[in-house]
């Protein structure tokens, strides 16, 4: 294995692949992405890369020349020179000048990244262990907020089902933004430090609990852009992806309106009495999305306790609701009361009490959840 051969292979591949399309198999270079800032960053990356490549080739050429021609086995007599102030000065000054050349475009791109002025839409992004919450800030205070969970199933992760496309990169509720609109992100965290990164938008910002950070993007091209959490945040750090859908202005407006009416509908639904089958069906979906990672696809447990045959699932409904809504302090069991709608909470509690062989026959209605929350 000769370094030069490998280097040549890489150079050729880079020239051929150029701005690779995202999520390509075996991609070897950074995505150029779809945003203007992202293109600037990509350009900087390639500039520094080429400068390093040229310097590297030159430096290694000298070294390999020596290795080949300055060998004892060729019978050469070693020279004895051992310093030259002139040469030291030259190879201090020249690299210094090259660095200044790099610093200029780097500075202007950084200033661009930091310029969050004049955004039209503000989205509060909150990192949770282990999901994201997106809250669209509204002037009247009528914010649309929802959680965005990993949509890949436990069966795919644990190899009992085939892995789908966008394995580990798809979510149940994506962030939707309109194209050609400057969107400002306010990034924070609920518990530990997380980091929100979408490579094709070239946005990465740490989510620090108790503080907000700012970022922005303006996406010119409709599409789906995927990213991941990029700060170790606990066991499921690798399982909280990000999905951003950039759509036309009309589509965005329609989506936002639909989300608002969903909120209204959920409040209304919380008043109704739902049927057992309905509760079990949606409960199963909620269980798979929210609970199965820790409690097992068959309720067998894992990081979390088993649900099958558990004292809580078979015991008093009030205690079961308490655990689901308030969580268990000092453990990884979070308070889901703020994360699930009352309908979803009722459904998943009903499901846990009747699935996995539990068969209590208990039905928990959204109104029961509402009452429990009110104390």
Partner 1 sequence: MFRLSQHPTIDTASKLVAVSIAMFAFVFVVMVPLYNVLCDALGINGKTSDEAYIAISTEVDVSRAITVQFVTSNNNEMPWGFKPSVTMMTVNPGAANDTVFLAANGTNEAMVAQAIPSISPSRAAEYFHKTECFCFNQQPLDANSSTQMPLQFIVDQALPRDIKTITLSYTLFDVTGMVADKKVAAR
Partner 2 sequence: MGAHHGPAKGMSRWLLTTNHKDIGTMYLWFSFAMFILGGAFAMVIRAELFQPGMQLVEPGFFNQMTTLHGLVMVFGAIMPSFVGLANWMIPMMIGAPDMALPRMNNWSFWILPPSFLMLASTLFMEGGAPAFGWTFYAPLSTTYAPPSVTFFIFAIHILGVSSIMGSINIIATVMNMRAPGMSYMKMPLFVWTWLITAFLLVAVMPVLAGAVTMMLMDIHFGTSFFSAAGGGDPVLFQHVFWFFGHPEVYIIILPAFGVVSQIIPAFSRKPLFGYASMVYATASIALLSFIVWAHHMYTVGMPVAGELFFMYATMLIAVPTGVKVFNWITTMWRGALSFETPMLFCLGFLVLFTLGGFTGLMLSIAPADFQYHDTYFVVAHFHYVMVAGAVFSMTAAVYYWIPKWTGRMYSESMGRIHFWVSFIGFNIAFFPQHFVGLAGMPRRIPDYSLQFADFNMMSSIGAFIYGASQLLFLYNVIVTIVAGEKVGEDKIWDGAEGLEWTVPCPAPYHTFEVPPKIDAVSAHA
Minimum CB distance to partner 1 smaller for 185 or for 351: 185
Partner interacting with residue 141 (select from partner 1, partner 2, none; CB below 5-8 Å by kind):
partner 1
Is residue 330 involved in binding partner 1 (CB under 8 A)?
A: no
Site string for partner 1, 133-172 (x = CB under 8 A): ----xxxxx-x-----------------------------
Stretch that binds partner 1, among 235-243, 293-301, 326-334, 354-362 (CB under 8 A): 326-334
3-state secondary structure of 348: helix
Is residue 255 involved in binding partner 2 (CB under 8 A)?
A: no
Minimum CB distance to partner 1 smaller for 200 or for 344: 344
- Residue 25 C-alpha from the chain's centroid: 19
- Residue 253 — φ and ψ, nearest 5°? -60, -40
Is residue 121 involved in binding partner 1 (CB under 8 A)?
A: no
Minimum CB distance to partner 2 smaller for 80 or for 140: 80
Is residue 304 involved in binding partner 1 (CB under 8 A)?
A: no
Question: From start to end of 121-181, where are the E strands?
Answer: 121-128, 131-136, 144-148, 175-178
Partner interacting with residue 106 (select from partner 1, partner 2, none; CB below 5-8 Å by kind):
partner 2
**Beta pairing class for 131-136 and 121-128:** antiparallel
Contacts of residues 16-20 at CB distance under 8 Å and 24 or more positions apart, as own/partner, are none
Is residue 81 involved in binding partner 2 (CB under 8 A)?
A: yes
Is residue 171 involved in binding partner 2 (CB under 8 A)?
A: no
- For 309-337, letters b (16+ CB in 10 Å) and e give ebebbbeebeebbebbbbbeeeeebbebb
Is residue 235 involved in binding partner 1 (CB under 8 A)?
A: no
| Count of C-beta atoms within a 10 Å radius of residue 124 | 17
**Beta pairing class for 121-128 and 182-189:** parallel
- Residues of this chain that interact with partner 1 (CB under 8 A) are 116-119, 122, 124, 126, 137-141, 143, 186, 188, 190-191, 208-214, 326-327, 329, 334-335, 337-338, 373-375
């Amino acid at each position: 294995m000769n370094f030069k051969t490998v280097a040549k292979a890489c150079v050729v591949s880079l020239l051929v692949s150029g701005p690779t399309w995202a999520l390509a198999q075996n991609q070897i270079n950074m995505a150029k992405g779809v945003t203007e800032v992202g293109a600037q960053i990509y350009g900087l990356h390639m500039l520094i890369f080429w400068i390093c490549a040229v310097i590297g080739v030159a430096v290694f050429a000298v070294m390999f020349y020596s290795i080949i021609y300055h060998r004892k086995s060729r019978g050469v007599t070693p020279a004895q020179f051992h310093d030259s102030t002139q040469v030291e000065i030259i190879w201090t000054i020249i690299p210094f000048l090259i660095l200044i050349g790099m610093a200029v475009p780097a500075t202007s791109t950084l200033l661009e990244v930091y310029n969050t002025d004049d955004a039209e839409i503000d989205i509060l992004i909150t990192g949770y262990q282990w999901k994201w919450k997106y809250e669209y800030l509204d002037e009247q205070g009528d914010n649309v907020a929802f959680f965005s969970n990993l949509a890949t199933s436990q069966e795919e992760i644990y190899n009992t089902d085939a892995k789908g496309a966008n394995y580990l990169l798809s979510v149940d509720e994506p962030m939707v933004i309109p194209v050609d609109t400057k969107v400002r992100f306010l990034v924070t965290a609920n518990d530990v430090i997380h980091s929100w990164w979408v490579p094709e938008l070239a946005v990465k910002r740490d989510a620090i609990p108790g503080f907000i950070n700012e970022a922005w993007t303006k996406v010119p091209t409709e599409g789906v852009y995927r990213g991941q959490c990029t700060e170790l945040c606990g066991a499921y750090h690798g399982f909280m992806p990000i999905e951003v859908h950039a759509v036309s202005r009309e589509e965005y407006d329609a989506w936002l309106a639909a989300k608002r009416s969903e909120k209204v509908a959920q409040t209304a639904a919380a008043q109704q009495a739902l049927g057992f089958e309905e509760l079990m069906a949606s409960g199963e979906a909620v269980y798979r999305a929210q609970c199965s990672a820790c409690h097992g696809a068959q309720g067998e447990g894992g990081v979390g306790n088993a649900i099958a045959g558990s004292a809580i699932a078979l015991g008093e409904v009030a205690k079961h609701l308490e655990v689901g809504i308030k969580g268990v302090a000092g453990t990884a069991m979070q308070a889901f009361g703020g994360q699930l709608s009352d309908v979803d909470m009722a459904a998943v509690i009903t499901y846990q009490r009747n699935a996995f062989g539990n068969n209590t026959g208990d039905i928990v209605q959204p109104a029961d959840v509402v009452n429990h929350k009110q104390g």
